[in-house]
């Protein structure tokens, strides 16, 4: 199944090792003085294009901090980070905004949809921000909602949708600009098992189309789908293991 199928994108810049996400000694300190928190204490991480990585670890270990840095929602206190072969540090705010809108899609535990507008309008939002003309927005938005099996809910507002439906809208929105990288922070954390399973299937389908996927999860069923599991503890990588089993979903 190739529900988010698309043409392959040309290769990008390079840090010499082909990694799409490359970090060296990344640190993040929140606050200052006595109340400061060292959320990340020296992360080395290289993720190749097309990997499906689960990030696991106890609450407070720095998983969300790491995801926010990877997605350029926040900046590190130290260390080097290259996204698609480009050092992020040197980028101006416009370039960063462009990365956030075009290169990376985000999915959050709490969905983060805009409550006052419909499912369709939420999915359309990144396209609007990206300057996509109306006719194309309409076509792309409709396609995306069909792919997450919500064509019949496109004119509903978030308050009228279930948790699983909200997360599927959020995934459609994250994929609107056809990003290479999908970041999801505990995407099934607020869902029942069955809705969580639908979300997992969508990630697997996206992985099959060549996207690079990073998912923070406590959900063993979700981490089992990943091709690699990175465990964070106290702001450091505690273990980093390629999955022994095939990561493709059962036939
Ligand atoms: P996780 O996602 O693994 O639960 P987080 O990355 O959210 O962990 O948090 C890591 C540490 O950084 C925790 O001690 C948390 O309290 C702290 N922290 C996270 N965000 C902030 C913030 N904006 N200001 C201050 N401390 C923060
Ligand atoms: Mg978190």
Among protein residues, the one with the nearest Cα to ligand 1's atom 1 is 60
CATH label of the domain that carries residue 96: 3.40.50.300
Is 64 touching ligand 1 by the criterion CB < 6 Å? yes
131, part of any domain: yes
Which structural domain, as residue segments, surrounds residue 237? 48-72+90-242
Q: How far is the CA of 48 from the centre of ligand 1 (A)?
A: 26
As a whole-number percent, the residues of the chain with pLDDT over 70 amount to 90
The answer to whether position 25 is within a domain reads no
Q: What is the 3-state secondary structure (H, E, C) of the chain?
A: CCCCCCCCCCCCCCCCCCEEEEEEEEEEEECCHHHCEEEEEEEEEEEECCCEEEEECCCCCCHHHHHHHHCCCCCCCEEEEEECCEECCCCCHHHHHHHHHHHEEEEECCCCCCCCCCHHHHHHHHHHHCCCCHHHHHHHHHHHHHHCCCHHHCCCCHHHCCHHHHHHHHHHHHCCCCCCEEEEECCCCCCCHHHHHHHHHHHHHHHHCCCEEEEECCCHHHHHHCCEEEEEECCEEEEEEECCCCCCCCC
Total domains, the chain? 1
Nearest residue by C-alpha to atom 10 in ligand 1:
62
Whether residue 176 lies inside any domain: the answer is yes
Ligand with an atom nearest the CA of residue 39 = 1
What per-residue confidence (pLDDT) applies to 16? Answer: 59
- For residue 59, report the distance from its CA to the centre of ligand 1, in Å: 9
Domain assignment present for 8: no
* 82, part of any domain: no
How confident is the model at residue 3, as a pLDDT? 52
Domain membership of residue 111 (yes or no) is: yes
Q: Is the model's pLDDT at 39 over the cut of 90? A: yes
User: How far apart (Å, rounded) are the C-alpha atoms in residues 155 and 212?
Assistant: 30
The CA 88 to ligand 1 mean position distance, Å, reads 22
Beta carbon of 39 within 6 Å of any ligand 1 atom = yes
Residue 10 is assigned to a structural domain of this protein: no
CA of 62 to the centre of ligand 1 (A): 6
Q: pLDDT per residue over 69-121, tens digit each? A: 999 999 999 999 999 888 998 888 888 888 888 899 999 999 999 999 999 99
In a domain, 140, yes or no: yes
Give pTM, 2 decimals.
Answer: 0.90
Q: Per residue in 180-211, pLDDT tens?
A: 999 999 999 999 999 999 999 999 999 999 99
């Amino acid at each position: 199944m190739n529900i988010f199928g698309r043409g392959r994108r040309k290769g990008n810049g390079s840090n010499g090792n082909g990694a799409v996400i490359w970090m060296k000694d990344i640190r993040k300190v929140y606050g200052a003085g006595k109340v400061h928190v060292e959320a990340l204490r020296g992360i080395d991480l290289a993720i190749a294009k097309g990997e499906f990585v689960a990030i696991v670890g106890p609450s407070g270990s720095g998983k969300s901090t790491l995801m926010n840095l990877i997605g350029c929602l926040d900046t590190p206190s130290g260390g080097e980070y290259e996204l698609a072969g480009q050092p992020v540090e040197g980028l101006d705010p416009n370039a960063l905004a462009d990365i956030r809108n075009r290169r990376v899609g985000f999915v959050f535990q709490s969905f983060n949809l805009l409550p006052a507008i419909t499912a369709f309008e939420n999915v359309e939002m990144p396209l609007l921000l990206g300057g996509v003309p109306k006719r194309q927005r309409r076509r792309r938005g409709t396609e995306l909602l069909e792919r997450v099996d919500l064509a019949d809910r496109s004119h509903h507002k978030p308050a009228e949708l279930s948790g699983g439906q909200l997360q599927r809208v959020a995934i459609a929105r994250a994929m609107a600009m056809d990003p290479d990288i999908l970041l999801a922070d505990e995407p099934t954390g607020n869902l029942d098992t069955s809705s969580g399973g639908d979300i997992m299937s969508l990630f697997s389908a996206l992985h099959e189309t060549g996207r690079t996927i990073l998912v923070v999860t406590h959900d063993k069923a979700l981490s089992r789908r990943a091709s690699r599991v990175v465990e964070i503890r106290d702001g450091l990588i505690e273990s980093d293991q390629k999955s022994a089993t095939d990561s493709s979903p059962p036939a």
